[in-house]
């Protein structure tokens, strides 16, 4: 029998009707009875408390507000972690840290033989960014657990709150470092080969920050978690445009990151005539146009391609560029489509440089597979939205998240809340207290169901 989405949601609510009861004031809609509790459970999200904590964390930054900068293993990063551990201690979470600095706070469940469920995100921040990216998923998770504790809820499965190390690629040029390592998507030898811009290796930097456990212990077993869910700002305009409260993320696009190195001949800008030039920058601009064309001509509506970093040598106004390096980010939720774009770009770049007598080297920095969300978790989130009378839609994420790598070891999904004007990675990034409150509510409801699921 085929069901509509609304009917499916009702069935899921009925399925869990003997497990728990939550009433969200002032919206009291579907009251669900909990056979484990003696009375109805009232779930209240303290948005003022959570928003105050967002402001406190934003103040731990190496740049002047309202912008935020917190680079991995920096003083600010370490201060923020200590402050976060204080919040976890206040609500009785058991804290652990691995050799990379992934921080986990566990709310121990009644059956420790069952694999836990997990939630979380990151708190590191690129230079001059905003205060909500990643942070909502960590502080929101803590508030969700507070609200469940204050309502008298007892999880059967333990619930872990994870602050992932280095979701942003600021220090080593690769994103989602902590979740890559946890999921086995990056080996110990690959991690050991990482170097910062100052040529410091990861062992030197992590140990200086106090993380001495072996990198081999970061990897989690594929059966370690029962499921993972991440709350995040959308970083796009769709929810705001459609006046919706919640985005239920069905898939996450993953990028292939390519590094281009072009070598030509330099010389004085006035002395070398145009027919004899081997200008590396001009060749690079033609390649960048082909990168844009690859995404525009793709048959997939989710194809995107971006060049965001370029280094030009010698970098003088009166000197012909002899050496250019730049990076391209090519992504799609459809792996075949993304790989077709990558091959087209490589072929086009090779032909352009051949025609212009420019030496070319193209390196693949990373090429990760996209992921699909778990259907059962998606339906559970949707049921929570229906029960709470919040508006929602299912959508894809074109941005990278730690969830992408957690999906390699357990069922996953994400909850999005609106971002004002779609802003992210900039000081103007903003989600309202009411939007944050609804996101935490849906996260709390979903965690309650997942932690009681056998």
Average pLDDT rounded to a whole number, residues 153-168: 97
Domain ranges of the chain: 18-253+370-452, 254-367
Average pLDDT rounded to a whole number, residues 173-179: 93
**Reported pTM:** 0.86
pLDDT value at 134 more than 70: yes
pLDDT, position 240 = 97
Distance of CA 132 to CAs 9, 235, 338, Å?
30, 10, 29
pLDDT, position 254 = 86
DSSP state of 283: H
- Backbone CA torsion sign across 388, 390, 393, 395: negative
pLDDT, position 120 = 98
pLDDT over 90 for what percent of the chain?
87
Mean per-residue pLDDT over the chain, rounded: 91
**Predicted confidence band of residue 102 (pLDDT cuts 50, 70, 90):** very high
Classify 3 as helix, strand or coil. Answer: coil
pLDDT digits (tens, 9 = 90+) for 17-73: 333 333 333 332 333 334 343 345 689 999 999 999 999 999 999 999 999 999 999
**Predicted confidence band of residue 454 (pLDDT cuts 50, 70, 90):** low
Whether residue 108 contacts residue 158, with contact meaning beta carbons closer than 8 Å, is answered with yes
* Between 123 and 11, residue with greater pLDDT: 123
pLDDT value at 13 more than 70: no
DSSP secondary structure letters along 403-435: HHHHTTTS-EEEEEE--GGG--SSTT----HHH
Average pLDDT rounded to a whole number, residues 423-445: 97
pLDDT over 70 for what percent of the chain?
91
C-alpha to C-alpha distance for 164 and 104, rounded to whole angstroms: 8
pLDDT, position 26 = 32
Which of these, 7, 2, 1, lies nearest to 379 by C-alpha position? 7
Q: Does the structural domain 254-367 have CATH classification 3.40.1110.10?
A: no
Q: What is the dihedral of CA 57, 121, 158, 37, to 10 degrees?
A: 70
pLDDT digits (tens, 9 = 90+) for 223-281: 999 999 999 999 999 999 999 999 999 999 988 999 999 999 999 999 999 999 999 99
pLDDT digits (tens, 9 = 90+) for 181-202: 999 999 999 999 999 988 999 9
pLDDT, position 227 = 98
**CATH superfamily label, 18-253+370-452:** Zn peptidases (3.40.630.10)
Average pLDDT rounded to a whole number, residues 412-432: 97
pLDDT digits (tens, 9 = 90+) for 324-344: 999 999 999 999 999 999 999
Burial, 311: exposed, middle or buried (Cβ in 10 Å; 0-12, 13-18, 19+)?
exposed
Q: What is the dihedral of CA 168, 174, 175, 178, to 10 degrees?
A: -100
pLDDT value at 206 more than 90: yes
pLDDT digits (tens, 9 = 90+) for 280-317: 999 999 999 999 999 999 999 999 999 999 999 999 99
Average pLDDT rounded to a whole number, residues 67-95: 98
pLDDT, position 18 = 36
Cβ neighbour number for residue 83 with a 10 Å cutoff: 15
C-alpha to C-alpha distance for 266 and 381, rounded to whole angstroms: 58
């Amino acid at each position: 029998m085929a069901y509509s989405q609304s009917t499916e949601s009702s069935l899921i609510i009925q399925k869990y009707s003997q497990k728990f009861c939550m009433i969200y004031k002032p919206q009291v809609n579907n009251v669900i009875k909990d056979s484990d509790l003696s009375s109805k459970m009232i779930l209240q999200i303290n948005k003022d408390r959570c928003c105050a904590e967002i402001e406190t964390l934003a103040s731990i930054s190496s740049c002047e507000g309202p912008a935020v900068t917190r680079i991995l293993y920096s003083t600010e990063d370490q201060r923020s972690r200590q402050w976060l551990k204080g919040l976890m201690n206040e609500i009785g979470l058991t804290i652990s840290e691995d050799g990379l600095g992934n921080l986990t706070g566990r709310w121990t469940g009644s059956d420790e033989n069952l694999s836990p469920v997990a939630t979380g995100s990151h708190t590191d921040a690129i230079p001059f960014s905003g205060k909500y990216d990643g942070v909502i998923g960590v502080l929101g998770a803590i508030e969700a657990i507070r609200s469940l504790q204050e309502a008298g809820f007892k999880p059967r499965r333990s619930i872990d709150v994870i602050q992932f190390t280095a979701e942003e690629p600021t220090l080593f040029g690769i994103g989602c470092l902590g979740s890559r390592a946890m999921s086995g998507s990056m080996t110990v030898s690959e991690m050991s080969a990482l170097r910062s811009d100052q040529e410091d290796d990861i062992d030197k930097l992590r140990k200086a920050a106090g993380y001495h456990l072996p990198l081999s212990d970061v990897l989690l077993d594929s059966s370690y978690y029962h499921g993972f869910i991440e709350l995040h700002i959308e970083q796009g305009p769709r929810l705001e445009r459609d006046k919706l409260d919640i985005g239920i993320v069905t898939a996450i696009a993953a990028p292939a990151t390519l590094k281009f190195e072009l070598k030509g001949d330099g010389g004085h800008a006035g002395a070398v005539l145009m027919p004899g030039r081997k200008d590396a920058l001009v060749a690079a601009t033609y390649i960048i146009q082909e990168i844009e064309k690859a995404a525009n001509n793709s048959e997939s509506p989710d194809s995107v391609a971006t060049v965001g970093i370029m280094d030009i040598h010698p970098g003088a106004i009166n000197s012909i560029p002899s050496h250019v390096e730049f990076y391209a980010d090519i992504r799609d939720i459809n792996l075949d489509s993304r790989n077709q774009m990558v091959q087209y770009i490589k072929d086009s770049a090779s032909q352009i440089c051949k025609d212009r007598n420019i030496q070319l080297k193209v390196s693949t920095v990373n090429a990760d597979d996209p992921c699909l969300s778990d259907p059962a978790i998606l339906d559970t989130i949707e049921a929570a939205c229906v029960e709470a009378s919040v508006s929602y839609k299912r959508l894809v994420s074109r941005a990278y998240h730690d969830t992408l790598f957690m999906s390699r070891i357990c069922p996953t999904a994400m909850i999005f809340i609106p971002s004002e004007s779609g802003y992210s990675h900039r000081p103007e990034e903003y989600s309202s207290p009411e939007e944050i409150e609804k996101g935490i509510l849906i996260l709390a409801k979903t965690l309650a169901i997942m932690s009681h699921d056998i």
